[in-house]
Amino acid sequence: MRIMDKKGPIQPLWATLDTVVEEWNEKTKDLGPGVSLSPPAKVKFIATMNGAPAPCSNGALVVVLRMIGFEDLLKQVKVSHCLTVTSGKGRTVTAYVQDVLVPGLNSDAKVGGPIEIYVDVLAYQVDSDRSRNAPIMLVNRFEPQ
């Protein structure tokens, strides 16, 4: 795992999912496969919800949180679901979702519809097939569109 930078306090920013991926691809373009870490970045974007939140393993999230010094987070919030979304340019990514948000996502958000998502980008998975690179994110809030 690599720590990318440590630049002051994290400011929330409005971005597209494509912008997040493009910026990380640029930061990691000379690196081989692995996980790159940086201080968590609060980002909000609109994406298409591909399906209802589904149970998933949070093993990778546990490792990332431990590496960035946030291992106690999962003692405060339960995370056992993932949500798959698609960006405006067609990139599909999966994000971890706080379990407290799952009932609202199931009742308020429409599968196939746009959703505004507030996430903490915690790390970036770099694959040997660069088209499979993806942020490791935790959904903290959402707003159906």
Higher pLDDT, 5 or 120: 120
Nearest to 122 by CA among 61, 77, 75: 61
Average pLDDT over residues 87-92: 91
CATH class of domain segment(s) 11-144: mainly beta
On the 0-12 / 13-18 / 19+ scale of CB atoms within 10 A, 139 is buried
Structure tokens at 62: 């546990």
Query: pLDDT class for 127, splitting at 50, 70, 90?
Result: confident
Query: pTM of the full predicted structure?
Result: 0.85
The per-residue pLDDT for 128 is 85
Q: Which of 14-18, 69-73, 76-80, 104-108 has the lowest mean pLDDT?
A: 14-18
The per-residue pLDDT for 13 is 64
The per-residue pLDDT for 83 is 96
Neighbours of 19 (CB within 10 A): 16
Helix (H) or strand (E) holding 106: helix 102-108
**How far, in Å, are 10, 22, 29, 81, 118 from residue 43 at the CA level?**
10, 14, 22, 19, 6
Is a pLDDT exceeding 60 seen at residue 9? no
- Domain boundaries, given as residue ranges, for the chain: 11-144
Nearest to 45 by CA among 16, 25, 88: 16
Nearest to 123 by CA among 140, 110, 136, 138: 136
